[in-house]
Chains A and B, each alone.
Chain A
Amino acid sequence: MRSYRGQVAIVGVGETPVGKVPGRSALWFNAEATRLALEDAGLDKAQVDGLVTAPSFVAPFARMSVAVSEYLGIRPTFSNTLNVSGATAAASVSVAAAAIHAGLADTVVVCCGDNMLSGLTRDLAVKALVESRDPQYEAPFGLLVATTFALTAQRHMAEYGTTPEQLARVAVVTRGHAMKKPGAQMTAPITVEDVLASKLITTPYHMLDCALVSDGGAAFVLTAAERARDLRRKPVYLLGGGESYTQEHIFCAESITTTGAAISSRRAYAMAGVRPEDIDVAGIYDCFTGTVVMMLEDLGFCKKGEGGPFVEAGQITYGGRIPINTHGGMLSYAHPGLPGGFFHIVEMVRQLRGEAGERQVAGAELALCHSLGGGFATNATIILGTEEKG
């Protein structure tokens, strides 16, 4: 199989302030993150000939990648507005890498930004999400996106004995990580009891089992590995990528406790030539606590059904098997909608460059990022490394 393994590198990252950032548009979050990523890479915007972004929930642009390019004053020859819901983050890195590997572009900006918190009221944000459900078979029954994910967690609890306390532990651990990340939206320490005492949203999920609603944007710059070596930052190489699109409706899923993440990650590991046990640190899309538990299994960090005890045993933080979401993730750092998963990638790049400060995972050489969406309708995995050949 053809492969982009080691052919493309992330050479710059940028992120805007996150949380409540009133008065800024979705375009600004995209552009500001891009400006910072180019500055980080030491590249001029004139060198950018490709741009990939995702649509905004708030801004009405039909061609978001073109609108962002115009705002930045660039005229790329490769442009893509990608939307595979939450999986867009990792998937857009693969799209950019494929474009570079295929010769469609030399230097591609991947960015995403939105103002879900300030631009949309919380009620409107939730309404926008419910309206993304099928109008005939789902929306008439008052199905929240959160409920779709809750159905999977409920079934996981019944099949494998996963407990509400184990789910809550994911939020507690990643809150601890956010406390060390400057600018994180939520930094007050929480306990398992706090999570279980927070308002019920859709069982088994409480408010603190659910990702935040935020403003914010993130960007990365990708270029060919041979160019990356001459740039100012230590290149972070893209070693593997995989995606999986298993169904649109949750009721058409073959299984709701084993997901397309098992497929996307298997493809990514195969391309990278590495195994789950080789990965040092991971960014896992954490729209809900139970999502993380299931992903730890499907990504191969523990056996199917053992995600709950794995979390409980302290395996997802420093000193454990695989520290995850060292920036705090979408549960505590920020979740501005589609940009939510992009911050995981920025954080993994910082980990591999050894720039994560007091969040640094010692000796991190291989990182995995997984993003997903639509009640596990979409899954995308990428594997990043400090060396071209892993």
Chain B
Amino acid sequence: MTGQKPLPPIDDDTRAYWAGLARGELLLQHCRACGHVQFYQRALCGRCLSPSLDPRPASGRGSIYSFSTVHRPPSAEFKDDVPYTVVLVELSEGPRMISTLVDTPPETVRIGQPVEIVYDRVTPEITLPRFRRAAAPTAG
């Protein structure tokens, strides 16, 4: 019995982020006051509290900071997906994010491997940012 997987509830803080993903852009917030680049999306800068944030598309490239291959699904909706590999990706712009790997056999995954974003359109509103192994190492 596999039901609906949890979908992100969009709010004012994150509307631009999900709209960006839907058109194929991963947005990071750049603080106009202090230059801090942040993930996740907030109404203020997590370093200096400035509300002046500039959403800019990220390169979509990064590397695997850590990973774990899930064999026991958290709920019935994920049963058909196991084993899947959760990754903590360090983006080349600096911030880290949680995602899952696509098209990558779990036994080949290593920390430090370069990855690139894959836009996984789940509904018209929601595109999930997933990652796959990238051919060449990325800077940063």
Contacts and interface: CB of A to CB of B under 8 A. Distances in A.
B6 interface: yes
Given A135-B9, A136-B9, A151-B86, A142 B66 contact: no
B59 interface: no
Interface in A132-157: 135-144, 147, 150-152, 154-155
B8 A140 contact: yes
Given A135-B6, A155-B65, A147 B70 contact: yes
Given A142-B73, A200-B83, 13 more contacts: A130-B74, A136-B14, A141-B99, A142-B100, A158-B111, A158-B112, A202-B69, A202-B71, A203-B69, A203-B106, A204-B68, A249-B40, A256-B65
Given A143-B86, A203-B68, A249-B40, A138 B98 contact: yes
B86 A142 contact: yes
Given A123-B75, A144-B74, A154 B8 contact: no
Contact of B6 (A123, A139, A147, A155): A139
B40 to A, nearest CB: 5
Interface in A179-202: 199-202
A151 B88 contact: yes
Interface of A: 123, 126-127, 129-131, 135-144, 147, 150-152, 154-155, 158, 199-205, 249-252, 256
Contacts of A205: 68
Given A123-B75, A127-B74, A154 B66 contact: yes
B67 interface: yes
Interface residues of B, number: 37
Contacts, number: 110
A201 B71 contact: yes
Contacts of A251: 39-40, 88, 95-98
A136 B71 CA distance: 22
B128 interface: yes
B139 interface: no
Contact of A126 (B10, B65, B74): B74
14 contacts: A126-B75, A135-B6, A136-B10, A142-B84, A147-B68, A155-B65, A155-B111, A158-B66, A199-B71, A202-B68, A249-B40, A250-B98, A251-B39, A256-B66
A137 B40 contact: yes
B92 to A, nearest CB: 15
A140 B111 contact: no
A168 B128 CA distance: 35
B8 A135 contact: yes
A203 B81 CA distance: 15
A137 B9 contact: no
Contacts of B6: 131, 135, 139-140
Contacts of A249: 40, 98
B29 to A, nearest CB: 13
B41 to A, nearest CB: 9
Contacts of B86: 141-143, 147, 151, 202
Contacts of B78: 142
A147 B88 CA distance: 11
Contact of A140 (B7, B71, B96): B7
